[in-house]
Amino acid sequence: MRSGSHLERVLRSGKFAVTAELNPPDSADPEAVYERAQTIAASCDAMNATDASGAHVHMSSVGVCALLSRAGFEAVMQVSCRDRNRIAIQGDLLGASAMGVRNVLCLTGDGVQAGDQPEAKPVFDLDSMTLLRTACILRDKSMFLSGRKLDAPPKLFLGAAANPFVPPLDFRPYRLQKKVEAGADFIQTQYCYDVPRFRKYMEKVRELGIHEKVFILVGVGPVKTAKSAEWMRTNVPGVWIPDDVIERLKKGGKGEGKRLCVDIIQQVREIKGVAGVHIMAYKQEELVPEIVAEAGLHVTLPSNMP
């Protein structure tokens, strides 16, 4: 146990974990966070608070996680390198740990050109690899990057993102290996809509022995319509949706996106090396409990959750 987090305990116990994305509000009202959290909290082992994903401003990840931790929810704080330098990021990691946040997902971050304020100045002092190494130095060596000693190190369970679905496909398992070597304890992948492609990826992951060193949670999510799926694969960087999935959504009608998500969960659950799923139901959070129930998943709630 590196952090004592609930998510870490679940994964190390061998249980199939479920995490879900909590989309932060465009608001300074804490009740907006709690309302969204209550929708999904009983259906997942931890909730991810995004860090201005897509380069769009929302309530900060550290702010959302502070509210969640205070209320007894299990949070995963996403940290993007786009907006802060190493000084600010190290301070945020210490502050988050002090507030009870134990899980951190290290991301490079989307470029500012993807958002609604493209005139913003990007930072990218670190990237996901160097951020992982930085967090490990804080946690394991009890010192800052400068070499200055810490009085008390942060207790962190460190995560990273992976995308097995876009070219160069042969490189993706090796990219994952580098993140594990940099310090990743768990991985959350991009949306999986191509299970055969993911199976092939996992074959190489197992060949390299990576699955024995890190917990891999597969990204899944319901798509409202075939039109939405076509928009996603055209406009969202890194999302791959095969033509046969689009056709299924066209023919299936209302509710097919949820049924597809359940089917994918049941398929990836049988793949050796998969430790859980990460559900991303953007603006469809109310579907998360239904997806978890229909997929036959069971979560273990934190003892102090309200």
Question: Structural domains in the chain?
Answer: 6-223+263-294 (3.20.20.220)
Exposure on the CB side of residue 299, measured as CA atoms within 13 A: 28
Rounded to whole angstroms, the Cα distance separating 288 from 295 reads 11
pTM: 0.96
Mean pLDDT of 170-176: 98
pLDDT of 192 higher than 90: yes
CB 64 within 8 Å of CB 92: no
pLDDT-derived band at 194 (thresholds 50, 70, 90) equals very high
pLDDT of 306 higher than 80: no
Q: Which amino acid is at 100?
A: G
Mean pLDDT of 30-42: 96
CB 47 within 8 Å of CB 86: no
CB 95 within 8 Å of CB 101: no
Q: Say what the pLDDT of residue 30 is.
A: 96
pLDDT of 303 higher than 80: no
Rounded to whole angstroms, the Cα distance separating 175 from 136 reads 18
CB 139 within 8 Å of CB 153: yes
Render pLDDT for 269-282 as a digit per residue (tens, 0 to 9). 999 999 999 999 98
Render pLDDT for 238-281 as a digit per residue (tens, 0 to 9). 899 999 999 999 999 889 999 999 999 999 999 999 999 999 99
Q: Give the percent of the chain with pLDDT over 90.
A: 90
Q: Say what the pLDDT of residue 29 is.
A: 97
Q: Say what the pLDDT of residue 235 is.
A: 87
Q: Say what the pLDDT of residue 253 is.
A: 87
The average confidence (pLDDT) of the chain is 96
pLDDT of 180 higher than 90: yes
Q: Give the percent of the chain with pLDDT over 70.
A: 99
Rounded to whole angstroms, the Cα distance separating 68 from 65 reads 5
pLDDT-derived band at 101 (thresholds 50, 70, 90) equals very high
Which of left, alpha, beta for 176 (phi over 0: left; psi -120 to 50: alpha)? alpha
> Pseudo-torsion of CA 202, 204, 206, 210, nearest 10°?
-100
pLDDT of 304 higher than 90: no
pLDDT-derived band at 301 (thresholds 50, 70, 90) equals confident
3-state secondary structure of 277: strand
User: Which ranges in 71-127 belong to alpha helices (H)?
Assistant: 86-98
CB 34 within 8 Å of CB 67: yes
Element (H, E) at 236: none
Residue 112 or residue 1, greater confidence: 112
Residue 235 or residue 155, greater confidence: 155
pLDDT of 283 higher than 90: no
Rounded to whole angstroms, the Cα distance separating 43 from 64 reads 19
Element (H, E) at 188: strand 186-191
Which of left, alpha, beta for 255 (phi over 0: left; psi -120 to 50: alpha)? left
Render pLDDT for 198-213 as a digit per residue (tens, 0 to 9). 999 999 999 999 999 9
Mean pLDDT of 99-114: 94
Burial of 303 (0-12, 13-18, 19+ CB in 10 A): exposed
pLDDT of 216 higher than 80: yes
- The radius of gyration of the chain from alpha carbons, rounded to an integer in Å, stands at 18
